Amino acid sequence: MAFTSILRKSANSFAPLAIRLTRVQRNYHSCVFTALNQGFQSQQSTVYRFYPNTLRFSTAVAFKKPSSDESLIRVLESEIQCAEEDGSDQVEGIPSGFPFEIEDIPGIQTVTLKRDYNGELVKVDVHMLEHGDEQEEVDDNDGDDYEDQNKTSIPLVVTVSKKDGSSLEFNCTSSPDHIEIDSLYFRSPDAEDELAYEGPDFHDLDDNLKKAFNKYLEVRGIKPSTTNFLHQYMIKKNNREYLNWLKNLKKFVEE
């Protein structure tokens, strides 16, 4: 009995101590949690102060074009404006009596001319000038007239076809007021191109024969008045294609 009484007294004496220790431990954890929470809020406030958009739009990705793209767009816009002021979008007017029908598809480097001449199909493929090679005009010494700074030329492929499928193909070079035949080929519908005899070099032919072929083309519409118009027409086409090319580049960079 006495021993049991002693144990009860000891337990009663330790109980207040345990309660106090528990309270101290709870207060300690509460202080630690409060300090950590205040530190996190302070850090969050600092991050928000320096990077406000990061927290507000954390799920969105902002995109901005590089400055190099913007600079390129401005240069393209300037080039487009200059090209439009130069009249690059204007189409060369067709003179009256021009014997050919013109097939000009935007974006294609060649222009095709066609006409019927006494049952023959005369087709002319005119190749576009390279940009920068077009004819330039400058004042002469008197300042009254204009002369060509560079005598440029345009390549022509003239094909005269018969109804049976046979044809003559002329590769020509046209410069202002002059047409020169570079080569001549006869195409037979029955012959294989790999085995066909193409004849001698055109420049090795007799002069009278060369003049006769030039006359042959002239009566079919391939003459200086025609090719001079084509020269100016292809300069305009070259400028139009350049302008459209600039606009396509600008649209691509902007997207």
Q: What is the pLDDT of residue 188?
A: 86
pLDDT tens digits for range 117-154: 999 999 999 987 654 444 444 344 444 444 443 467 89
Lowest-pLDDT range, 22-31, 110-119, 228-237?
A: 22-31
pTM: 0.64
Would the pLDDT of 97 be above 60?
A: yes
Note whether 102 and 221 are within 8 A (CB).
no
Q: Is 133 exposed, middle or buried (0-12, 13-18, 19+ CB in 10 A)?
A: middle
Q: Which CATH class is domain 81-254?
A: alpha beta
Distance of CA 209 to CAs 204, 222, 223, 224, 227, Å?
A: 10, 17, 17, 20, 22
